[in-house]
């Protein structure tokens, strides 16, 4: 922490620091002095100065007690110096007296660590502001000064302060006259009032109230909470109050009831879909309830020092968390990712072939998908021949892909490269327990089943799309004298699909789009379930009047079962068509490479150029490009989907390394097990 003047000498020169204490200085100067004092406590001596006896003594203490954090040793030394030098103690005491008298601490206890509005987006903006914008020490709010005085993870030593040192520190602060327990208790009681008001408002808000369990709300804990907290406040302000113990027990019981009611929201979200904003609101309410408990412990404790220490440690940890934007996103989107993974896992189970019979069935399903993709290939060339503007060319190409993918889904066929997005979560679903080598081997068996399924899907797709496109080209040339795809288009295909060009990069990019389609599918299904659209389709009076009750019920059931598949196929098709156009708008020459479509295009080129193309080196470089395209389409989409599902499931890095080692061992010992069933 670099403070005024940027000098590091203040970090080790205690004598100069104490001499600089000036209770009559402007507010900003006094707060900067406090920040320098915290910096001196935080950092061990960096420069050895013979005149600095304080630094020498602190270093000697550190050598005698290596297990005690250096900041704690320096705190002890500071207290010793103040006890031996009354002139320093008087100046520092007067400065702390003004500090306690002028700063308002209720905001630190009630608001610090909580979003200003019940919205995840506003919390992200607030954290970015805290990280990017400078803070000023010229403030009367302790909540605003707190980040300047403490340094999140650098201040873990606060938890290590022993009881004796804590008592000495408390006595030194009490001697200033401004840290009277009654004053701090009053601010904490005000903070409890603010927190109770926020909890009550959250409990009455429609998004949370409608998702709480009726049993948890039966005792009306949110309605009674404010009155109970106010009664405890009155009891604490009145030394003669006799019902304090009973009133505190009632308040704690109501806090527990509110906590249980908030926990029931998660059960509702598990069943009816996840909303990150609702999850955020529920967690904010839970944290406020915990803060009320902490403040209650502080104001009730006859010797509050240990409770205040725990509260300070909690606030420092909160400061550390508020600087982490990525952690906030990971925490609140993990539940949504897990629900997406679970729903994809249910679908993905149907895409894994474990027996020879299932392997053959997958070949047949993939062959049907390849037949449809042969029509898609010619439609793609036809759209290109129209010479449309870039946007409309991409749009109609996306429509072509989307219609083809949806038709394949409705026919219960498959496209090989779409499987990884569905099957990777199914694999991650088994990662919950890897405590033994046998379970790791069982998981490797599942991966082998999956890769064999991918091989069957690719073989089935390519087995029909290539011959059908080639046959259509040759048949059209024999009947009409010219194939639908001409020589000029064929030459372009040979130039664009070759492995010597950027085909590998484009194929990896297409794998990212394949993964993105699975994310969109999971999000759309969660949105569909969260808003209960299946129930609306089945029971809405307007829909029932138009469709009739039986048909409305069938439509509701169909959309509930197929919304994820439709969203995945439509989003993938439109992204394959539109994303290259959008990216090219920014000057990036990006294209898509889909293994099945690329095979159809190469077959069309072969049909246009004739049999001599088979002896052309460029043709075989395109064949190699298609092989790389298949590997990258499958590999990239599978890897990204697996990472998402594994992160949502909390799979540890050590377990991932064990799985990697087991997979490499299986690849060395039985490589063919990844291609076809035994």
* Residue 400 vs residue 105, higher pLDDT: 400
Supply the angle between the helices 503-530 and 419-428 in degrees, to the nearest 10. Answer: 70
Average pLDDT, the chain: 84
Helix H, strand E, coil C: the string for 523-588 is HHHHHHHHCCHHHHHHHCHHHHHHHCHHHHHHHHHHHHHHHHHHHHHHHHHHHHHHHHHHHHHCCC
- Residue 513 in this model has a pLDDT that exceeds 80: yes
pLDDT of residue 443: 80
pLDDT digits (tens, 9 = 90+) for 589-602: 899 999 999 999 99
Instruction: Print the SS3 string covering 143-155.
Output: HHHHHHHCCHHHH
**Contact present, 12 and 55 (Cβ < 8 Å):** yes
Q: Please check the confidence at residue 587 and state whether its pLDDT lies above 70.
A: yes
Q: Sorting pLDDT into bands at 50, 70 and 90, what band is 117?
A: low
- The pLDDT value recorded for residue 331 is 58
Mean pLDDT of 457-473: 94
Specify the long-range contacts of residues 209-212, CB closer than 8 Å, at least 24 apart: 211/264, 211/265, 211/268, 211/269, 211/272, 211/278, 212/261, 212/262, 212/264, 212/265, 212/268
Q: Which two tokens stand for residue 131?
A: 């990280």
8 A C-beta contact, residue 629 and residue 635? no
pTM over 0.75: no
pLDDT of residue 676: 76
Each residue's pLDDT tens digit, 294-309? 999 999 998 888 999 9
Q: What is the pLDDT of residue 650?
A: 64
Consecutive H or E run containing 640: helix 617-648
State pLDDT tens for residues 626-671. 999 998 988 898 788 777 767 666 677 777 788 888 888 988 888 8
Q: Is a pLDDT exceeding 60 seen at residue 56?
A: no
E strands in 246-381? none
- % of the chain beyond a pLDDT of 90: 46
- The three-state (H, E, C) secondary structure of 231-242, written as one string: HHHHHHHCCCCC
Q: Would you place residue 51 in the very low, low, confident or very high pLDDT band (cuts 50, 70, 90)?
A: very low
Residue 11 in this model has a pLDDT that exceeds 50? no
| Residue 270 reports pLDDT greater than 50 | yes
Q: What is the pLDDT of residues 390-429, one digit of tens each?
A: 999 999 999 999 999 999 999 989 887 765 545 555 565 6
Lowest mean pLDDT among 75-89, 151-165, 184-198, 451-465: 151-165
Res 656: pLDDT: 77
- Tell me what the mean pLDDT of segment 13-35 comes to: 91
Check the CA dihedral 90-96-97-102 and report its sign: positive
> Taking Cα atoms as reference points, which of 214, 251, 210, 213 lies closest to residue 233?
251
Q: Residue 261 above 90 pLDDT?
A: yes
pLDDT above 70: residue 342: no
What's the pLDDT band for 435 if we cut at 50, 70, 90? low
| Res. 468 pLDDT band, cuts 50 70 90 | very high
Nearest Cα residue to 332 out of 383, 398, 287, 297: 287
DSSP SS3 for 16? helix
Averaged pLDDT for residues 270-278 = 74
Q: Is 141 helix (H, G, I), strand (E, B) or coil?
A: strand
Supply the pLDDT for residue 377. Answer: 96
Name the CA dihedral angle for 660, 663, 669, 671, rounded to a multiple of 10 degrees: -130
Residue 446: name the closest of 422, 469, 423, 464 by CA.
423
Mean pLDDT of 369-397: 95
Confidence band for 557, pLDDT divided at 50, 70 and 90: very high
Torsion from C-alpha of 335, 341, 346, 352, nearest 10 degrees: -160
Nearest to 138 by CA among 21, 31, 1: 31
Q: For residue 328, what are its two tokens?
A: 């906030």
Residues listed for the chain: 678
> What would the mean pLDDT of 349-364 be, rounded to a whole number?
79
> In the predicted model, is pLDDT for residue 529 greater than 80?
yes
């Amino acid at each position: 922490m670099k403070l005024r003047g940027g000098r590091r000498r203040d970090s080790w020169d205690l004598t100069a620091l104490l001499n600089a204490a000036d209770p009559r200085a402007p507010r900003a100067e006094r707060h900067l002095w406090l920040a320098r004092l915290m910096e001196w406590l935080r950092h061990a001596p960096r420069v050895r100065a013979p005149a600095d006896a304080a630094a020498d003594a602190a270093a000697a203490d550190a050598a005698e007690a290596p297990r005690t954090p250096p900041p704690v040793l320096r705190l002890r030394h500071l207290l010793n110096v103040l006890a031996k030098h009354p002139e320093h103690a008087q100046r520092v005491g007067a400065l702390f007296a003004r500090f306690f008298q002028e700063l308002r601490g209720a905001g630190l206890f009630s608001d610090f660590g909580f979003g200003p509005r019940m919205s995840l987006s506003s919390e992200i903006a607030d954290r970015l502001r805290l990280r990017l914008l400078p803070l000023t020490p010229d403030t009367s709010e302790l909540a605003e000064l707190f980040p300047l005085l403490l340094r999140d993870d650098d201040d873990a030593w606060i938890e290590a302060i022993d009881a004796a040192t804590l008592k000495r520190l408390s006595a030194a602060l009490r001697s200033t006259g401004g840290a009277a327990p009654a004053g701090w208790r009053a601010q904490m009681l005000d903070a409890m009032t603010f927190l109770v008001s926020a909890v009550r408002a959250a409990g009455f808000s429609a998004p949370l109230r409608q998702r709480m369990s009726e049993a948890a709300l039966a005792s009306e804990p949110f309605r009674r909470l404010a009155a109970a907290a106010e009664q405890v406040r009155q009891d604490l302000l009145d030394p003669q109050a006799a019902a304090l113990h009973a009133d505190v027990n009632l308040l704690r019981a109501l806090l527990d009831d509110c906590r249980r009611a908030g926990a029931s929201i998660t059960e509702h979200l598990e069943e009816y879909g996840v909303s990150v904003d609702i999850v955020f609101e529920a967690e904010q309410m839970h944290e406020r309830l915990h803060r009320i408990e902490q403040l209650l412990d502080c104001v009730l404790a006859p010797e509050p020092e240990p409770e205040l220490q725990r509260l300070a440690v909690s606030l420092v940890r909160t400061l550390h968390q508020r600087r982490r934007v990525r952690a906030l996103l990971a925490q609140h989107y993990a539940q949504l990712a897990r629900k997406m993974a679970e729903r994809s896992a249910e679908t993905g189970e149907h895409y894994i072939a474990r027996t020879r019979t299932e392997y053959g069935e997958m070949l047949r399903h993939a062959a049907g998908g390849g037949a449809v993709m042969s029509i898609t290939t010619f439609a793609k060339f036809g759209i290109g021949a129209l010479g449309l503007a870039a946007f409309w060319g991409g749009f109609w190409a996306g429509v072509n892909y989307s219609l083809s993918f949806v038709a394949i889904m409705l026919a219960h066929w498959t496209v090989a490269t779409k499987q990884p997005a569905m099957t990777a979560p199914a694999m991650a679903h088994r990662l919950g327990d890897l405590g033994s080598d046998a379970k790791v081997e069982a998981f490797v068996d599942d991966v082998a089943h999956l890769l064999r399924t991918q091989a069957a899907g690719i073989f089935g797709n390519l087995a029909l799309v290539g011959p059908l496109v080639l046959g259509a080209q040759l048949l059209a040339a024999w009947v009409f004298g010219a194939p639908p795809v001409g020589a000029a288009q064929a030459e372009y295909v040979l130039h664009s699909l070759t492995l010597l060009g950027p085909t590998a990069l484009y194929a990896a990019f297409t794998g990212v789009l394949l993964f993105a389609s699975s994310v969109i599918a999971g999000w759309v299904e969660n949105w569909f379930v969260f808003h209960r659209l299946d129930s609306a389709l089945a029971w809405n009076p307007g829909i029932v009047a138009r469709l009739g009750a039986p048909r409305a019920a069938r439509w509701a059931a169909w959309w509930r079962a197929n919304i994820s598949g439709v969203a995945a196929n439509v989003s993938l098709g439109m992204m394959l068509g539109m994303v290259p156009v959008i990216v090219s708008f920014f000057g990036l020459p990006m294209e898509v490479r889909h293994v099945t479509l690329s095979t159809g295009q190469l077959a069309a080129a072969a049909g246009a150029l004739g049999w001599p193309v088979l002896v052309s080196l460029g043709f075989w470089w395109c064949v190699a490009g298609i092989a790389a395209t298949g590997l990258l389409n499958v590999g990239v989409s599978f890897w990204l989907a697996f990472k998402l599902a594994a992160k949502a499931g909390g799979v540890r890095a050590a377990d991932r390394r064990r799985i990697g080692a087991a997979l490499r061992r299986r690849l060395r010992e039985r490589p063919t097990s990844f291609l076809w069933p035994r």
